[in-house]
Amino acid sequence: MSAKKPLNIGLIGCGFMGRAHSNAHAKVSHFFHNLAYKPVLKAICDVDETKAKAFADAWGYESVETDWRQLIARTDIDAIDICAPNNAHHDIAIEAANAGKIILCEKPLAMNVSEGKEMVQAVEQTGVANMVWYNYRRVPAVTLAKNIINEGKLGRIFHYRTMFLQDFTIAEDLPQGGPGLWRLDASVAGSGVTGDLLAHNIDTAMWLNGPITEVSAMTETFVKERKHVETGKKQPVGIDDASLFLARFANGSLATFEATRYARGHKALYTLEINGEHASIFWDLHDLHRLGYFDHRDESVVRGWRSIHVTDHDQPYMDKWWVPGLQIGYEHSFVHQMADFLRGLETGKPASPTFADALETQRVCEAVLESAKTRQWTPTGL
């Protein structure tokens, strides 16, 4: 019998993220052995009961709910994990906070800054532990990048550039709305690639390089109308298909950000590069287990970009997995984040990003959308 304290999870939403989080909860104790807490898959909640039951069967959830208010009302649930679409985050989070539940929320935090502020207020007033699933911070190569920066290896930073390129919405006959494609429906998603993709870039960027102070952005909707799956009719597309911006960080460095779902050939190419006085770093989600590193202090004739295969036991999180040379994948970033969250519960030092951290990303997203509309450089307030 395990001596670990159970953390009873109620998870809302059986989609892609529901699976990613459930996998994290199921696996974390297999690989992280010294944690005081152990997640228990107590309840799955989805408006679609059939789907929820199948999900419970596959993952071993002990019970099924179809109304998230019921789930929150249950006294046997310690933590609510929100994997519902963006427009549901606010209400669920506030009710969960008021019920004293721990809250894990899929990104982006909210539909906009205004909602986000209320959510932060709710968790701060009630004092519940909270976290937003900006999972890419916990890809070992990205964590390694953070460590390298923290050690001062880069020196003064001059440039940051980052992209998130996809190509899955190029077809004009792709509809908007519904379980699979709610990200194309502005009323559910809030925004397009700005909130869906750039939010990731922004979260990582500010974690690695500090606050973004101002932006100049442009957005575009290439396909102006798409059939809505609920109405069956062609409706204007309200989201941004592409979003690009120039930025200045508080540390004086300059940046380009770009996200699109119209970059043929790229499935989920999230890249980031940071150029410092002494060294540079490059990372790319399509080969997430590698980190590019260039150190100008290397002997000149043998200097070059290093391709670091981040699978050694002295590299972040990798002592928990296999042996050097054997790579892990996308899902492991969630396992790492859950491990860090559990450790935070234990030590009282909350794992980041908290709701408050995620609100800063939300501010930048909002400044981007504002700048694209006004065609003006826009301060983020950070």
Least distance in angstroms from the C-beta of 59 to its own copies:
6
Using a CB cutoff of 8 Å and minimum separation of 24, what contacts does 93-99 make? 93/119, 93/122, 93/123, 93/130, 93/355, 94/118, 94/119, 94/122, 95/68, 95/69, 96/72, 96/128, 97/122, 97/123, 97/125, 97/126, 97/128, 97/130, 98/122, 98/126, 99/72, 99/73
Contact partners, residue 194, CB within 8 Å, separation at least 6: 219, 240, 243, 259, 365, 368, 369
Closer to its own copies at the Cβ: 23 or 235? 23
In this structure, what are the phi and psi dihedrals at residue 352, rounded to the nearest 5 degrees?
A: -95, 160
Maximal CA-CA distance, the chain: 66
Closer to its own copies at the Cβ: 87 or 327? 327
Inter-residue contact 292 to 167 (CB < 8 Å): no
Closer to its own copies at the Cβ: 60 or 100? 60
Least distance in angstroms from the C-beta of 317 to its own copies:
12
Residue from 276, 280, 275 nearest 293 by CA: 280
Contact partners, residue 89, CB within 8 Å, separation at least 6: 82, 105, 106, 109, 110, 111, 115, 119
Closer to its own copies at the Cβ: 354 or 380? 380
Query: How many CA atoms lie within 13 Å of 43's alpha carbon, on the beta-carbon side?
Result: 24
What the block records as the tokens of 77 is 């649930």
Least distance in angstroms from the C-beta of 152 to its own copies:
13
Closer to its own copies at the Cβ: 125 or 376? 376
> Residue 118, exposed/middle/buried by CB under 10 A (0-12, 13-18, 19+)?
middle
Residue where the block lists tokens 């290439």: 222
Closer to its own copies at the Cβ: 116 or 192? 192
Closer to its own copies at the Cβ: 23 or 126? 23
Number of residues written out for the chain: 382
In this structure, what are the phi and psi dihedrals at residue 212, rounded to the nearest 5 degrees?
A: -90, 130
Cα–Cα distance measured from residue 226 to residue 245, given in angstroms and rounded to the nearest whole number: 26
Closer to its own copies at the Cβ: 235 or 256? 256
Residue type, 162: T
Q: What is the DSSP string of 210-250?
A: --EEEEEEEEE-SS-EEEBTTT-SEEE--S-SEEEEEEEET
Least distance in angstroms from the C-beta of 79 to its own copies:
20
Beta partners for 214? 248, 379
Closer to its own copies at the Cβ: 239 or 288? 288
Residue from 198, 306, 304, 295 nearest 255 by CA: 198
Least distance in angstroms from the C-beta of 344 to its own copies:
21
Least distance in angstroms from the C-beta of 12 to its own copies:
18
Closer to its own copies at the Cβ: 112 or 380? 380
Least distance in angstroms from the C-beta of 88 to its own copies:
21
